[in-house]
Structure 1
Amino acid sequence: MHAVRDAVQQAGQSVSAAQVSARFRRTKPEKVQPLLTTLVTLSFLRETDDGSYAG
């Protein structure tokens, strides 16, 4: 979960679940999406109007 949060924060712009998953080998957006949702719920990330994520 920390790696996903760091990937979003280091991107420097809002990113989609697919863009986050591309930073990890053999990881699909379907596996990253629940982590992103949890991080938003915990207020570590925010979801933008277009459905992407930002730190």
Structure 2
Amino acid sequence: MTVKATTNFSGTVSMAKGEERELPAGPVLNDLLSCGYIVPVDKEEKSETKRGNKRKD
């Protein structure tokens, strides 16, 4: 699952706020999601941002 860090954290997985990364399913992913340290990245949003076509309404 592609996720984005909501804050800086360090442990089994370390990420900086705003960093996006692919994490495998499992207990670490579940723990980070339940703590709110990471959020899933919408695949459509990610591809639009990469192309620079994100709408600014």
When normalised by structure 1's length, the TM-score is 0.39
TM-score calculated relative to the size of structure 2: 0.39
- Is the strand fraction higher in 1 or 2? 2
Higher helix share: 1
Structure with max Cα Rg: 2
